[in-house]
């Protein structure tokens, strides 16, 4: 028992490896939020009039809203006037190729293990890199453009494809949706935009890497992916931030639109700075992610590995509107030290024969709190809707918590919904079995944790699975891997 | 809650306070009333009332009258005879009229060495003063919504039951709640306290009956304390008119290593909310909770359960099943709470629902909140309809569709019903359910 606890304590006492700060000239807008700030951001980004109106409308709505208090997380009140809403690496002219990117920036991303150059050559993943508020580089643009795919930063999209942005922005997550979505709609600075035309299967994985660098800044990015009829795209998202004693706010919005027979696979490896072992600092990750299967036979799949952030609060959801559409959610959420996570999903069945599957694995260590909160709703017309949910929690150490709050609402007697959840610690018998075969306790714990998360890891694209495995290993330190 | 109603409750409250100046009870009532005035009735915005808040606060648009003096007896012996439950010959029958315990109509068959049954006020002033003071009102710490506070504001005329040490009470206690809604919409607020002392056993059964054409609302709080090595069996049968609604709280505290067994069957009624709480205050407790709801028409039944594990080595098992027909709504919300000290907790929770009609709906919220690591907790929840294959199997063997359906539903309900350990009561429940399920007649 004692030995096991020691090993657990050692393994969970790990360090954040992405905590460095890049010394780079940054263009910063003064702290504070007002109509002035929003106008300023809009002007800086050279946005058209309709975009500014949209932002101001969102801002005025946000002013009337109250910060929600229902999640199972605790944090001091956020002072929205003490946040920098726009910070961009300087010297940014229009960049055509990676050669023109600030070498300091390239180094930063190399340090993070996502060498943009290397990725370009070796793995064939198209990357959009977002530093603080703006996108600094997007690779493979040309090759993608050949098949008609638009993959660029949101600011470029607003300039170059206003009709697409106008049509879809806010169509899945309206600006009035919730407190943080409204805030994001008012002040979002950049993000990725991706449009897959009809019948196109995206030839490579698309990826965005988010990095918060500037002190006291908040990151508000907005991602929009539109997949037209019979298209397919796999999209990856990763994020890190420097180590600081203050908390920083990250309030993003991600919208996915899948038309008839389209498929979107969205994978996230979230590794924002989680704060130190005393619970100081770290990112508040308050994100709204939602996809709509608007056409028949469409499919949206969310996979996420959540290891970072002081507080994670997000529910990637799928609205299953088209008949025969499919929604999936695979998640591993690992919390350590004083981290808090309240995460899960919503599956809203509206169309006939819609199916959804939820697999959520929570791992709590240290003094952290890890909650699953999910909603499965079968509407009146969701004939033969089918859902299966499984939520398992693993507790490492006796000071952490694991919670499950599922909501199941069925208004249709042909719908079949199943939910099951378990919570336990690593079994003595499992440990014993490993040790008997000469595997030391530490390696055994690692082995069991990896096995516990495997079902979700298998859903990640290969490039990401490796990174995610590594992350899980780092977050639990020791010889996990 | 509008001003007029608050004023009405305020007047009634003042009347009660001035005519019953008993120090302890009036202090409790006072706390309750100020709490009620602050909070008002729960709405759907209160997370604990998400699915039932609207129904309950809507009911209060009516003008419910609080019960008059208990000495007026509007009820005849015949009314009681009608609602007697099987096995009554052998039971301690306690009659409540509009929420007030009426000694004259009750029949106590156990010896006073085994069990003491008396009005709450009498107990509070007599030998059992200490017990009442220590244990009455503990549920207020767990449920602090307005409707619970409303009950506390009017604690009066309840019953106190004490089971002596080392007594296996063979005569179960039957509580008959009669609501006289002949002239007015009636609000009945029974409040009871039961203390089962060391190494004893008690079986409790509650049932409800509304007389008259007006509406009734029962807002009941039933507190039970189970001491070391004692056994509690608690059954509730809700089979009243559709004009009868209720919020019924059963708050069980296991203060010594003990055994609790609760079962709630809801067959008929308007809006029903059952709060069943089990608080594990000692190590090594064991609790089993069962529920069955067979709903039709516009009934709304919400089973809200809490298992609060405060100490290590406790075991709890929870199984709630529902068959929902017509445009009825079934709600299940269960919470297993494991506190940091409650290591080695084993807790299970399961909720199964069958929807029979197009307009039936179900909302289920099984929750685990766990702050200790060495635990085994799980929950499961299903929503669906009858298995087509099983139906086909029976029909292929010449069994009519209605009959086949009834058979399958009966099988579904049976593992709850068989948990009733009072023989005549189980047979009675089986009959009720068979009768009920054979009525079920759904279109293809």
- Residues of chain B with C-beta less than 8 angstroms from the C-beta of A422: 376-378
Query: For the segment A207-244, what is each residue's pLDDT rounded down to a tens digit?
Result: 887 777 666 677 888 999 999 999 999 988 877 666 66
Nearest C-alpha neighbor of B251 from the set B231, B227, B272, B277 = B277
CA distance B356 to chain A (A): 6
- Residues of chain B with C-beta less than 8 angstroms from the C-beta of A397: 373
pLDDT at A12 over 90: no
Q: Tell me if A424 and B377 make a contact (CB, 8 A cut-off).
A: yes
In the 8-state DSSP scheme, what is residue A217? B
Q: What count of other Cβ atoms lies within 10 Å of the Cβ of residue B439?
A: 11
Burial grade of B369 (CB within 10 A; 0-12, 13-18, 19 or more): buried
Q: Which of A35-39, A138-142, A228-232, B36-40 has the lowest mean pLDDT?
A: A138-142
pLDDT of A92 reads 45
pLDDT at A480 over 50: no
Residue A137 confidence class, pLDDT cut points 50, 70, 90: low
Q: Tell me if A406 and B374 make a contact (CB, 8 A cut-off).
A: no
Q: Tell me if B363 and A408 make a contact (CB, 8 A cut-off).
A: yes
Average pLDDT, integer, range B416-435: 94
A417 touches chain B (CB under 8 A): yes
* Cα–Cα dist A175/A173, whole Å: 6
pLDDT at B81 over 90: no
A93 touches chain B (CB under 8 A): no
ipTM of this predicted structure: 0.86
Average pLDDT, integer, range B29-53: 91
Average pLDDT, integer, range B395-416: 93
* Cα–Cα dist A62/A184, whole Å: 10
Residue B297 confidence class, pLDDT cut points 50, 70, 90: very high
Average pLDDT, integer, range B119-137: 92
B362 touches chain A (CB under 8 A): yes
B343 touches chain A (CB under 8 A): yes
Relative to beta strand A253-258, strand A282-293 is: parallel
| Number of domains into which chain B is organized | 1
pLDDT of A473 reads 66
pLDDT at A2 over 60: no
Q: Tell me if B373 and A400 make a contact (CB, 8 A cut-off).
A: yes
Q: Which is higher by pLDDT, B21 or B240? A: B240
Average pLDDT, integer, range A250-278: 89
- Residues of chain B with C-beta less than 8 angstroms from the C-beta of A402: 368, 370
Average pLDDT, integer, range B338-342: 92
Query: For the segment A343-383, what is each residue's pLDDT rounded down to a tens digit?
Result: 999 999 999 999 999 999 999 888 889 999 999 999 999 99
pLDDT of B281 reads 95
Query: A389 is written with which tokens?
Result: 């949910």
Mean pLDDT of all residues in chain B? 91
Query: For the segment B252-285, what is each residue's pLDDT rounded down to a tens digit?
Result: 999 999 999 999 999 999 999 999 999 999 999 9
Q: Tell me if A411 and B372 make a contact (CB, 8 A cut-off).
A: no
Average pLDDT, integer, range A420-448: 87
pLDDT at A99 over 80: no
pLDDT at A120 over 60: no
Query: B431 is written with which tokens?
Result: 């009959």
Q: Tell me if A409 and B375 make a contact (CB, 8 A cut-off).
A: no
* Cα–Cα dist A129/A107, whole Å: 13
Residue B77 covered by a domain: yes
Nearest to B382 among A406, A418, A421 (CB): A418
Nearest residue of A to residue B388 by CA position?
A414
Nearest residue of B to residue A405 by CA position?
B367
A5 touches chain B (CB under 8 A): no
In the 8-state DSSP scheme, what is residue A50? H
Q: pTM of the predicted model, to two decimals?
A: 0.88
A46 touches chain B (CB under 8 A): no
Question: Angle, to 10 degrees, between the axis of helix B388-396 and the axis of helix B401-417?
Answer: 120
Q: Which of A117-121, A469-473, B293-297, B383-387 has the lowest mean pLDDT?
A: A117-121
B344 touches chain A (CB under 8 A): no
Range of the domain at B34: 3-282
pLDDT of B417 reads 95
pLDDT of A103 reads 64
pLDDT of A362 reads 92
Nearest to B373 among A398, A421, A422 (CB): A398
H or E stretch at A72: none
Mean pLDDT of all residues in chain A? 82
* Cα–Cα dist A426/A337, whole Å: 18
Contacting residues for B221 by C-beta, under 8 A, at least 6 apart: B139, B148, B151, B152, B189, B190, B191, B192, B249, B251
Nearest residue of A to residue B333 by CA position?
A407
B382 touches chain A (CB under 8 A): yes
| Cβ atoms of residues B342 and B370 within 8 Å | no
Q: Tell me if B355 and A412 make a contact (CB, 8 A cut-off).
A: yes
Q: Which of A128-137, B119-128, B391-400 has the lowest mean pLDDT?
A: A128-137
Share of chain B above pLDDT 70, in %: 97
Residue B334 covered by a domain: no
A415 touches chain B (CB under 8 A): yes
Nearest C-alpha neighbor of B207 from the set B434, B428, B437, B438 = B428
Nearest to A404 among B355, B367, B372 (CB): B367
- Residues of chain B with C-beta less than 8 angstroms from the C-beta of A342: none
Q: Tell me if B373 and A395 make a contact (CB, 8 A cut-off).
A: yes
- Residues of chain B with C-beta less than 8 angstroms from the C-beta of A409: 361-364
Query: For the segment A75-86, what is each residue's pLDDT rounded down to a tens digit?
Result: 888 888 888 888
Q: Tell me if A405 and B367 make a contact (CB, 8 A cut-off).
A: yes
CA distance A348 to chain B (A): 14
Q: Three-state SS for A122?
A: helix
pLDDT of A51 reads 92
Main-chain dihedrals φ then ψ at residue B34, nearest 5 degrees: -70, -35
Q: What count of other Cβ atoms lies within 10 Å of the Cβ of residue B396?
A: 9
Question: Angle, to 10 degrees, between the axis of helix B146-153 and the axis of helix B3-19?
Answer: 30
Residue A481 confidence class, pLDDT cut points 50, 70, 90: very low
For an interface test with B, the pick among A408, A416, A424 (most B C-beta atoms closer than 10 Å) comes out as A408
pLDDT of B444 reads 40
Residue B343 covered by a domain: no
Residue A278 confidence class, pLDDT cut points 50, 70, 90: confident
Residue B74 confidence class, pLDDT cut points 50, 70, 90: low
Q: Which of A20-34, A113-127, A424-438, B115-129 has the lowest mean pLDDT?
A: A113-127
pLDDT of A122 reads 41
Q: Tell me if B370 and A425 make a contact (CB, 8 A cut-off).
A: no
B364 touches chain A (CB under 8 A): yes
B380 touches chain A (CB under 8 A): yes
- Residues of chain B with C-beta less than 8 angstroms from the C-beta of A399: 340
pLDDT at A15 over 50: yes
Total beta-carbon pairs less than 8 A apart between chain A and chain B: 115
Q: Which is higher by pLDDT, A440 or A240? A: A440
Residue B106 covered by a domain: yes
Q: Tell me if A401 and B376 make a contact (CB, 8 A cut-off).
A: no
Residue B403 covered by a domain: no
- Residues of chain B with C-beta less than 8 angstroms from the C-beta of A412: 355, 358
| Cβ atoms of residues B208 and B235 within 8 Å | no
Residue B353 covered by a domain: no
pLDDT of B423 reads 94
Contacting residues for B264 by C-beta, under 8 A, at least 6 apart: B235, B236, B238, B274, B276, B290, B291, B292, B303
Which range has highest mean pLDDT (A17-26, A84-93, B365-374)?
B365-374
Q: Which of A127-136, B2-11, B121-130, B193-202 has the lowest mean pLDDT?
A: A127-136
Residue B178 covered by a domain: yes
- Residues of chain B with C-beta less than 8 angstroms from the C-beta of A365: none
In the 8-state DSSP scheme, what is residue A456? H
A398 touches chain B (CB under 8 A): yes
Q: Tell me if B384 and A416 make a contact (CB, 8 A cut-off).
A: yes
Nearest residue of A to residue B327 by CA position?
A411
A123 touches chain B (CB under 8 A): no
What is the number of alpha carbons within 13 Å of residue A184 lying toward its C-beta? 30
* Cα–Cα dist A454/B234, whole Å: 44
Residue B18 covered by a domain: yes
Q: Tell me if B377 and A397 make a contact (CB, 8 A cut-off).
A: no
Query: For the segment A451-469, what is each residue's pLDDT rounded down to a tens digit?
Result: 888 888 888 777 667 777 7
Q: Tell me if B361 and A410 make a contact (CB, 8 A cut-off).
A: yes
Share of chain B above pLDDT 90, in %: 75
Nearest to B383 among A400, A415, A422 (CB): A415
Q: Tell me if B380 and A410 make a contact (CB, 8 A cut-off).
A: no
Average pLDDT, integer, range A97-118: 56
pLDDT of A125 reads 55
pLDDT at B38 over 80: yes
For an interface test with A, the pick among B46, B373, B440, B444 (most A C-beta atoms closer than 10 Å) comes out as B373
Q: Which of A8-17, A30-39, A141-150, A398-407 has the lowest mean pLDDT?
A: A8-17
């Amino acid at each position: 028992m004692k030995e096991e606890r020691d090993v657990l304590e050692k393994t969970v006492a790990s360090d954040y490896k992405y905590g460095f700060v890049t010394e780079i000239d940054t263009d910063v807008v003064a702290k504070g939020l007002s109509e002035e700030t929003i106008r300023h951001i809009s002007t800086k980004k050279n946005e058209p009039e309709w975009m500014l109106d949209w932002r101001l409308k969102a801002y005025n709505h946000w002013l009337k809203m109250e910060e929600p208090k229902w999640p199972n997380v605790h944090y001091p009140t956020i002072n929205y006037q003490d946040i920098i809403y726009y910070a961009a690496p300087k010297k940014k002219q229009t960049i055509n190729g990676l050669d023109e990117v600030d070498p300091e920036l390239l180094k930063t991303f190399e340090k993070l293990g996502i060498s943009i150059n290397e990725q370009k050559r070796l793995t064939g993943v198209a990357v959009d890199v977002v530093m603080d508020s703006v996108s600094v580089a997007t690779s493979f643009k040309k090759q993608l453009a050949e098949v008609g795919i638009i993959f660029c930063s949101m600011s470029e999209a607003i300039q170059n494809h206003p009709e697409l942005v106008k049509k879809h922005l806010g169509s899945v997550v309206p600006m009035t949706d919730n407190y943080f979505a409204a805030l994001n709609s008012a002040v979002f600075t950049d993000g990725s935009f991706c449009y897959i035309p009809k019948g196109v299967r995206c030839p490579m994985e698309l990826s965005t890497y988010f990095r918060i660098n500037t002190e006291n800044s908040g990151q508000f990015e907005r991602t929009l992916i539109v997949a037209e009829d019979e298209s397919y795209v796999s999209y990856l998202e990763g994020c890190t931030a420097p180590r600081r004693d203050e908390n920083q706010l990250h309030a993003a919005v991600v919208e996915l639109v899948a038309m008839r027979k389209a498929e979107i696979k969205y994978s996230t490896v979230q590794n924002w700075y989680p704060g130190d072992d005393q619970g100081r600092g770290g990112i508040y990750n308050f994100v709204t992610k939602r996809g709509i299967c608007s056409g028949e036979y469409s499919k949206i799949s969310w996979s996420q590995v959540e290891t970072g952030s002081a507080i994670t609060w997000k529910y990637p959801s799928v609205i299953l509107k088209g008949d025969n559409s499919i929604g999936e959610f695979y998640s591993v959420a690992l919390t350590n030290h004083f981290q808090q996570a309240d995460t899960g999903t919503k599956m809203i069945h509206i169309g006939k024969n819609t199916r959804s599957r939820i697999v959520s694995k929570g791992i709590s260590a240290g003094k952290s709190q890890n909650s699953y909160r999910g909603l499965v709703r079968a509407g009146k017309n969701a004939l033969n809707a089918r859902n299966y949910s499984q939520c398992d929690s693993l507790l490492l150490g006796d000071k952490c918590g694991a919670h499950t709050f599922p909501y199941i609402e069925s208004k249709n007697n042909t719908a079949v919904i199943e939910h099951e959840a378990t919570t336990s610690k690593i079994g003595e018998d499992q440990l014993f079995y490993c040790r008997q075969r000469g595997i030391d306790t530490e390696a055994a714990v690692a082995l069991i944790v990896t096995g516990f998360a495997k079902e979700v890891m298998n859903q990640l694209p290969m490039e990401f699975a490796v990174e995610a495995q590594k992350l899980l290993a780092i977050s639990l330190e020791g010889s996990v891997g | 809650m509008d001003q007029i109603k608050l004023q009405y409750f305020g007047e009634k409250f003042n009347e009660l306070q001035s005519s019953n100046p008993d120090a302890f009870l009036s202090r409790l009532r006072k706390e309750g009333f100020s709490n009620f005035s602050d909070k008002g009735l729960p709405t759907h915005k209160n997370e604990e009332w998400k699915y039932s808040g609207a129904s309950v606060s809507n009911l209060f648009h009516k003008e419910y009258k609080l019960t008059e003096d208990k000495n007026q007896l509007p009820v005849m012996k015949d009314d009681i005879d009608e609602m007697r439950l099987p096995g009554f010959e052998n039971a301690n029958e306690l009659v409540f009229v509009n929420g007030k315990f009426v000694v004259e109509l009750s029949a106590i068959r156990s010896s006073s060495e085994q069990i003491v049954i008396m009005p709450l006020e009498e107990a509070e002033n007599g030998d059992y003063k200490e017990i009442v003071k220590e244990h009455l009102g503990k549920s207020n710490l767990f449920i602090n919504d307005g409707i619970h506070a409303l009950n506390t504001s009017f604690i009066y005329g309840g019953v106190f039951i004490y089971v002596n040490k080392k007594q296996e009470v063979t005569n179960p206690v039957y509580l008959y709640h009669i609501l006289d809604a002949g002239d007015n919409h009636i609000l009945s607020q029974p409040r009871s306290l039961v203390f089962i002392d060391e190494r004893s056993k008690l079986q409790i059964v509650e049932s409800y009956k509304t007389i008259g054409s007006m509406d009734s609302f029962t807002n009941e709080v039933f507190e039970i304390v189970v001491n070391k090595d004692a056994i509690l069996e608690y059954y509730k049968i809700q089979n009243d008119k559709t004009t009868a609604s209720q919020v019924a709280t059963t708050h069980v505290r296991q203060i010594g290593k003990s055994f609790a067994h609760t079962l709630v069957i809801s067959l008929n009624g308007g809006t029903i909310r059952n709060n069943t709480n089990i608080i594990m205050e000692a190590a090594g407790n064991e609790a089993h909770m069962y529920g069955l709801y067979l709903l039709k028409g516009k009934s709304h039944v919400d089973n809200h359960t809490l298992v609060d594990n405060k100490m290590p080595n406790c075991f709890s098992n929870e199984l709630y099943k529902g068959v929902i027909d017509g445009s009825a709504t079934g709600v299940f919300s269960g919470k297993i709470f494991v506190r940091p000290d409650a290591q080695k907790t084993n807790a299970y929770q399961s909720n199964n629902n069958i929807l029979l009609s197009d307009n039936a709906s179900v909302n289920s919220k099984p929750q685990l909140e766990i702050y200790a690591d060495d635990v085994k907790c799980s929950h499961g929840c299903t929503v669906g309809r009858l298995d087509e294959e099983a139906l086909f199997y029976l029909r292929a063997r010449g069994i009519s569709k209605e009959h086949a359906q009834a058979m399958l539903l009966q099988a579904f309900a049976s593992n709850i019903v068989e948990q009733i350990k009072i023989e005549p009561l189980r047979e009675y429940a089986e009959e009720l359910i068979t009768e009920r399920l054979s009525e079920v007649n759904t279109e293809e």
